[in-house]
Structure 1
Amino acid sequence: MKKKTKLIHGGISRDPYTGAVSIPLYHASTYQQDGVGNFKYEYARTGNPTREALETLIADLEGGARGFAFGSGMAAIAAVVQLFSAGDHLLLTDDVYGGTYRIMTKVFHRFGIDVTFVDTTDLETVTKSIRPETKAIFVETPTNPLLKVTDVKAIGEIAKEHGLRFIVDNTFSTPYWQNPIALGADIVLHSATKYLGGHSDVVAGLVVAADDALGDELHFIQNSTGGILGPQDSWLLIRGIKTLGVRMEEVEANTKAIVSMLQEEKSVGKIYYPGLADHPGHAVHRAQAGGFGGMVSFTVENGEKAKAIVKSARYFTLAESLGAVESLISIPSLMTHASIPRERRLALGIEDGLIRISVGLEDVEDLVEDLKAAIRS
């Protein structure tokens, strides 16, 4: 089954009870049992038909054994980190989403889970950072907001060699462009709020386990902690995923035109986009993914110039989040990555004048002219 077909027909694509081609919304909180312990569904926290259709779909799309849907991307990350115990050590990509940095340093650190942020594009650094108590390597690729690319297969081999679990945040590329499990990942994460939902109308997180044993561990955590996705949002996410393929292809076409314009603007400094031949990791990304996506970051003179640009843009909406049908624009240092100390941001390359855009589905000529005018203003 090809990818676009799987987006529509993967998982449980027909309601087994009625034959409905759109999985119904099952709002029930509990279910009748045919005798004690004889049931298909027991309690909605443990399992729900609408959520199950979504969870089966994402498992199919990522090539994993089990899928799990959570109330947000951060809830998904929290569930995965709860696989570990006090005294365990994790390696994380240094240029990681601000919320991931925050939860690891401000929340799980209090429970005795230690983390080291490393440049996972540097395989030697990764290997040298492994300790006896290290239990996992957690990679985000491409990263947010500098679009750094990690060699998933190479890190997977390092993880396997040292007996570590390998976790990949696949939010930016989506399963349409990139499938980390096929490259050696044990767990794949998504902030499904972004491209998978695609319409700025749902907040959700998805996790896929590569094998059943790991799936059982994650289901125990999901059921025990209860951060599940509700049936309404599960249904919205299934609907969004059906158009993921056509959206990702159109977004990429729009993005290439915008990047070409940015290259001609003298006031634009660095451009971060994996599709550029001179972008660090370009060749690696080309080898492990089918497309370069719709996320672009670029620098301008300073923070004041950046604020003027985001204020002037008409079709790029100043907002948090990404991956929607509408184009979005943000200043990471003041928004998505504000929770990271400024000294660390600057050390990573997240400058005050860094702007991040998420390219949407508007007419590409409107987008190009709008951003050009905002930059020149």
Structure 2
Amino acid sequence: MEKKQQLHKDTTVIHEGYNDQEHQGSLAVPLYQTSTFSFESAKQGENRFSGVEEGNIYSRLGNPTVRVLEERMAALENGAGALAFGSGMAAVSTVLVHLTKSGDHILCSRGIYGCTFGLLGILDEKYKITHDLVQMRTEEEIERAIKPETVCIYVETPINPTMELVDLHAIVNVAKKHGLRVVVDNTFSSPYLQNPLDIGADFVLHSATKYINGHGDVIAGLLVGNDKEEMEKIRMTVQKDYGGIISPFDAWLLIRGLKTLPVRMERHTSNAEKIMEYLKGQKLVEEVYYPFDENNPQFEIAKNQMKAGGGLISFTVKGGKEEAQLLIDSLELIRIAVSLGDAETLIQHPATMTHSIVPENERLSMGITDSLLRLAVGLEHAEDLINDLDRAFSLLEKSLTEASAK
């Protein structure tokens, strides 16, 4: 049989997983907004529930619109199968519940999303599933943190919100040596800029709310795995019984958003690069954190596993919480909001917003100081964004000058 030609991602996001002739010739993927599906006979119903016959049963178990999204995401991440969820945290909790049992241990990257941190606390408190946050700079450091009860390594890269990178090749090398599973939160890069499964990870997940959707109007999550049978097992166990599924309408919106992912990611990235250079020259900025900054000590890691730096920049301002909050309060065009991947540029203060759940000592050990800000660069013209930042920095400088004169 002739091998199917591999499509570029720019084409995959538009065509993968859909045959319009199977849907009355509809060019757009139809929205199957239904909770259940009828059977032609009782025998057909029996066969579908037993797995003898493939077909639709009930939208918590599968839906034609959702299926297109899942197949498209599996192709984008070069995986064997994908599952769509009602939120990114539903994807996180599902894969961790699937991989662990009481008494197990999870090894995590030093920085993780605040709600993931909260979930790990719940797993520890209720089910004695422990975890450790480790910097993971070298393979030796990773190996030293492994315990007899460790079952998986869970990482974000780039890490939210410090933009610190984790070397996925090192993670996979250690994991394979010790028989551990690897889960990577790929939200900050999107499948257009980074593909952890290609490096050897077992699972990759996304808060699809962000770059996958791209329009700030859907809450959703996605999990992609490299073993099709295992993904179907998760579908029919944890996802089915915990119930964190996505609605057909939200899946339809994600399919629509995905079509412009490559174009959007290129604009997010080009804008971020220009703003990064501006921030590096701003005297009230102490540090700028961006993966593809040539002065970043992890730049080689970034080039080795990412196509480009993406649209997220973190930076610290001189002073502390008061100065950081004054800066963002002075912005006019850039909106104060948590999230990323929207057309609009957003800024937030992680210490008091996304990571406020993390105890101060642990937050500081993650590098999340009171002066740190996270900028999710949107699709506006870069010059307008820089002008807005410049105006805000001028107001901050004026305020600091007046304060010092008193």
Normalised TM-score (structure 2): 0.91
How do residues 186-265 of structure 1 correspond to structure 2 at under 5 angstroms? 186-219=202-235, 220-265=237-282
Asked if the contact 2:124/2:131 (under 8 Å) is kept, the reply is no
Asked if the contact 2:280/2:287 (under 8 Å) is kept, the reply is no
**Structure 1 CA distance for aligned equivalents of residues 299 and 79 of structure 2:** 26
Q: SS of 1:270's equivalent?
A: strand
Q: SS of 2:285's equivalent?
A: coil
RMSD between aligned alpha carbons? 1.2
Q: SS of 1:196's equivalent?
A: coil
Corresponding residue for 1:340? 358
Corresponding residue for 1:58? 73
Moved more, 292-301 or 150-159: 150-159
Matched, 1:4 2:22: no
How do residues 303-318 of structure 1 correspond to structure 2 at under 5 angstroms? 303-318=321-336
Asked if the contact 2:165/2:298 (under 8 Å) is kept, the reply is yes
Task: Give how far 1:324 is off.
Answer: 0.8
Task: Give how far 1:323 is off.
Answer: 1.2
How do residues 58-77 of structure 1 correspond to structure 2 at under 5 angstroms? 58-77=73-92
Residues 258-287 of structure 1 deviation map (CA, whole Å, 9 limit, x = unaligned): 011101111100111111112132111111
Moved more, 244-253 or 34-43: 34-43
Residues 81-103 of structure 1 deviation map (CA, whole Å, 9 limit, x = unaligned): 11111011110111111111111
Task: Give how far 1:123 is off.
Answer: 2.2
Q: SS of 1:233's equivalent?
A: helix
Counterpart residue type for residue 97 of structure 2: Q
Any unmatched runs of 5+ in structure 1? none
Counterpart residue type for residue 389 of structure 2: L
How do residues 151-170 of structure 1 correspond to structure 2 at under 5 angstroms? 151-170=167-186
Moved more, 313-322 or 31-40: 31-40
Q: SS of 1:293's equivalent?
A: coil
Any unmatched runs of 5+ in structure 2? 1-6, 49-54, 396-406
Task: Give how far 1:11 is off.
Answer: 2.2
Task: Give how far 1:13 is off.
Answer: 5.6
Bigger-Rg structure (1/2): 2
Q: SS of 1:261's equivalent?
A: helix
Residues 295-345 of structure 1 deviation map (CA, whole Å, 9 limit, x = unaligned): 001001211111111111112110011111100000000101101011211
**Structure 1 CA distance for aligned equivalents of residues 119 and 290 of structure 2:** 27
Normalised TM-score (structure 1): 0.97
Given the alignment, which residue of 287, 290, 298 partners 2:307?
290
Asked if the contact 2:16/2:75 (under 8 Å) is kept, the reply is yes
Residues 82-136 of structure 1 deviation map (CA, whole Å, 9 limit, x = unaligned): 1111011110111111111111013454112111111123322111111111100
Q: SS of 2:350's equivalent?
A: coil
Moved more, 32-41 or 196-205: 32-41
Task: Give how far 1:160 is off.
Answer: 1.0
Distance 1:246-1:34 versus aligned 2 partners, 3 A rule: same
Q: SS of 1:247's equivalent?
A: helix
Task: Give how far 1:14 is off.
Answer: 3.2
Counterpart residue type for residue 346 of structure 1: L
